[in-house]
Amino acid sequence: MTPVQQTYPAVPAAPAGVPAARGRALTKVYGRGDTRVTALDAVDVEFRRGEFTAIMGPSGSGKSTLMHCMAGLDSLTSGQAWIGDAELSALDDTGLTRLRRDRVGFVFQAFNLLPTLTALENITLPMDIAGRAPDRAWLDEVVDAVGLRPRLGHRPTELSGGQQQRVACARALAGRPEVVFADEPTGNLDSRSGGSVLSFLRSSVREMGQTVVMVTHDPVAAAYADRVLFLADGRIVDEMTSPTAERVLDRMKAFDSAGRVVEVG
Ligand SMILES: Nc1ncnc2c1ncn2[C@@H]1O[C@H](COP(=O)(O)OP(=O)(O)OP(=O)(O)O)[C@@H](O)[C@H]1O
């Protein structure tokens, strides 16, 4: 007998006009006393739908903390974060797990693919776990856009690093999330493979209407975004639209080695 797979609809997306994600007075304090660190200091931020945002800043400026708190992977000390119209602190653990599963896509520096599964099985794994049937037409679009069709039956060890990361990007997008958070997605790749991953992320935004937020150290990677937010000492200190690698690099030079902001001009 064929097992019947029960399918659940995705959590409904937020109404039009609501940003893909936003945060208000985001504050995260680690430790106490002598070891107290304010990793996020009352940050207000908004990620509009259909926009590709890069987050840059010196080491320790709070980039990963911002992304983790926005994505519901870490809790805030105070402030509020929303994915669409869902406020994260109002959700219990099950609600948060469902939200991350159904409404958020993740891409990490280490590709995090399961070695025993094929590329296609890795791509559909989150939906299989959720008991959700993939939207075939969308899945086809994602697979074609990422250029993986000839590799779908391959296991991760049979793929290059760039191909593995493109599988991870396709997995993040397959469930049609409201926002994709990418943490140094090209950190383990050479510049050519990194370029193919970044081109895909950009086309997922421009041609497929997705929303991507990416933490990166690389001005060349940041230049693929529509907008760059600069963090220093747990605060957003600058924003650049239509960035170029040269302009981003110049802006980054204005941070001193301790990560503080140096006034320019
Ligand atoms: N679990 C933790 N416990 C204590 N302090 C932490 C913890 N996680 C981060 N921090 C501190 O919070 C600050 C911000 O860290 P975060 O990792 O967000 O910075 P980042 O900009 O992503 O750095 P990098 O570019 O080096 O990855 C740093 O001072 C860091 O040492």
Express each pLDDT in 234-259 by its tens digit. Answer: 999 999 999 999 999 999 988 755 55
Residue with CA nearest ligand 1 atom 1:
30
Is the confidence at residue 151, as pLDDT, over 50?
Answer: yes
Q: Which residues pair with 83 in a beta bridge?
A: 21, 86
Distances (CA, A) of 194 to 15, 181, 190: 34, 16, 6
CATH code of the domain in which 163 resides: 3.40.50.300
pLDDT given for residue 70 in this prediction: 96
**Has residue 66 been placed in a domain?**
no
Is the confidence at residue 16, as pLDDT, over 90?
Answer: no
Using the mean position of ligand 1's atoms as its centre, give its distance from the Cα of residue 90 in Å.
25
Model confidence at 91, in pLDDT bands (50, 70, 90)? very high
Model confidence at 261, in pLDDT bands (50, 70, 90)? low
**Has residue 193 been placed in a domain?**
yes
**Has residue 108 been placed in a domain?**
yes
Number of domains in the chain: 1
Using the mean position of ligand 1's atoms as its centre, give its distance from the Cα of residue 261 in Å.
17
Q: Does any ligand 1 atom lie closer than 6 A to the CB of residue 216? A: no
Is the confidence at residue 263, as pLDDT, over 80?
Answer: no
Residue indicated by tokens 């739908």: 49
Model confidence at 170, in pLDDT bands (50, 70, 90)? very high
Q: Does any ligand 1 atom lie closer than 6 A to the CB of residue 77? A: no
Helix (H) / strand (E) element for 246: namely helix 245-253
Domain interval for residue 172: 51-61+92-253
Euclidean distance between CA atoms 17 and 103, whole angstroms: 17
Is the confidence at residue 131, as pLDDT, over 80?
Answer: yes
**Has residue 83 been placed in a domain?**
no
Using the mean position of ligand 1's atoms as its centre, give its distance from the Cα of residue 136 in Å.
39
Average pLDDT score over residue span 16-32: 92
Euclidean distance between CA atoms 111 and 117, whole angstroms: 14
Q: Does any ligand 1 atom lie closer than 6 A to the CB of residue 75? A: no
Distances (CA, A) of 232 to 22, 24, 66, 207: 19, 17, 12, 32
**Has residue 77 been placed in a domain?**
no
Using the mean position of ligand 1's atoms as its centre, give its distance from the Cα of residue 17 in Å.
33
pLDDT given for residue 134 in this prediction: 85
**Has residue 8 been placed in a domain?**
no
Model confidence at 260, in pLDDT bands (50, 70, 90)? low
**Has residue 36 been placed in a domain?**
no
Q: What is the pLDDT of residues 36-56, one digit of tens each?
A: 999 999 999 999 999 999 999
Dihedral, 63, 208, 143, 131 alpha carbons, nearest 10:
80
Tell me if ipTM is over 0.85: yes
Using the mean position of ligand 1's atoms as its centre, give its distance from the Cα of residue 89 in Å.
21
Q: Does any ligand 1 atom lie closer than 6 A to the CB of residue 61? A: yes
Q: Does any ligand 1 atom lie closer than 6 A to the CB of residue 37? A: yes
pLDDT given for residue 189 in this prediction: 86
Nearest to residue 122, comparing CAs of 131, 112, 130?
Answer: 112
pLDDT given for residue 188 in this prediction: 87
Q: What is the pLDDT of residues 181-233, one digit of tens each?
A: 999 999 988 888 889 889 999 999 998 899 999 999 999 999 999 999 999 99
Give me the chain's average pLDDT, please: 89
**Main-chain dihedrals φ then ψ at residue 69, nearest 5 degrees:** -70, -40
Query: Which tokens hold the place of 63?
Result: 């980039």
- Check: CB of residue 28 under 8 Å from CB of residue 39: yes
